[in-house]
C-alpha cells in the first residue's frame, strides 16, 4: 500500500508548470474550434441538425473533442504541437470560408426588397428618451427603471463556457498519463492549465 501511495505522491509532486505562451497556444485551439463550429453552421446546409442525438454528436465533435485533443496530444512538448493544430484549424476555417458561401448571405439576397424596414428606428429607442416610469418596490412614481448600460455579448458567455469546459477536462484528465505533467497544478510558482 505504501508503494502505491509513494508512487502517487511522486506522480503529482514537484511540478514546475509551463510557460504562458504554451498555455495560450493550447487555449487558442479552443478559439479556433469555436470558429470552425460557427463557420460550418453558417455555411453548410443541414447544420445544425434537427435531431437531438445528431445535435449532441455535432457539438461534441466540433467543440469538445478539439478541447480534449488540445490538452492531451497537442500539449506535448513546448508548444510546437499546439502550433501545428492551430495552423490546421486556421487552414480548414480559411478554406471553408473561401469555398462556401454563407447561408445568411444567401437568405438576405432572396428577400424581397421593400421600402419599410422591420428594424426599429432610432427615434423609438433614443437614449435621450426617458425610461418608462415604474412604481418599483418603494412605490415612488418618479423613480426611473434601471437601464441596461452594458449590452449582452453572447460571444463572451460562449468563451467563458468553453474555458470552463476546458478546465473541467483538465481537472478530470490530470490523473491520467496522457495528460502532460507540465499542465498540472504547480507546487510553488508557475503557470498551469488546470488553473486557467
Query: 108-160 pLDDT, tens per residue?
Result: 555 555 555 455 555 544 555 554 544 445 556 566 655 656 666 777 888 88
C-alpha cell at 15: 511540478
Residue 175 has pLDDT above 70, yes or no: yes
* Amino acid 134: pLDDT: 46
Neighbours of 43 (CB within 10 A): 18
Contact predicate 192/186, CB 8 Å: yes
- Number of helices (H), then strands (E), belonging to the chain: the values are 7, 0
The pLDDT of residue 151 = 66
Cis peptide bond N-terminal to 48, omega within 30: yes
The predicted-structure confidence for 84-109, as pLDDT tens digits, reads as follows 888 888 888 888 888 877 766 655 55
Strand partners, 18: 191
- The owner of cell 509532486 is 13
Amino acid at each position: 500500500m505504501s508503494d502505491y501511495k509513494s508512487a502517487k505522491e511522486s506522480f503529482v509532486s514537484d511540478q514546475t508548470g509551463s510557460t504562458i505562451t504554451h498555455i495560450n497556444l493550447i487555449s487558442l485551439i479552443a478559439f479556433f474550434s469555436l470558429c470552425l463550429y460557427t463557420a460550418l453552421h453558417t455555411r453548410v446546409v443541414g447544420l445544425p441538425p434537427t435531431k437531438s442525438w445528431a445535435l449532441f454528436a455535432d457539438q461534441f465533435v466540433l467543440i469538445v473533442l478539439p478541447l480534449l485533443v488540445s490538452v492531451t496530444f497537442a500539449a506535448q512538448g513546448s508548444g510546437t504541437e499546439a502550433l501545428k493544430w492551430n495552423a490546421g484549424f486556421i487552414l480548414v476555417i480559411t478554406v471553408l470560408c473561401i469555398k462556401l458561401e454563407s447561408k445568411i448571405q444567401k437568405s438576405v439576397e432572396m428577400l424581397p426588397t421593400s421600402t419599410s424596414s422591420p428594424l426599429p428606428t432610432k427615434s423609438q429607442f433614443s437614449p435621450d428618451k426617458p425610461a418608462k416610469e415604474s412604481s418599483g418596490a418603494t412605490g415612488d412614481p418618479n423613480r426611473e427603471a434601471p437601464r441596461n448600460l452594458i449590452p449582452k455579448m453572447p460571444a463572451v458567455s460562449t468563451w467563458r463556457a468553453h474555458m470552463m469546459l476546458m478546465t473541467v477536462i483538465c481537472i478530470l484528465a490530470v490523473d491520467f498519463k496522457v495528460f502532460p505533467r507540465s499542465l498540472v497544478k504547480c507546487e510553488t510558482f508557475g503557470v498551469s492549465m488546470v488553473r486557467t
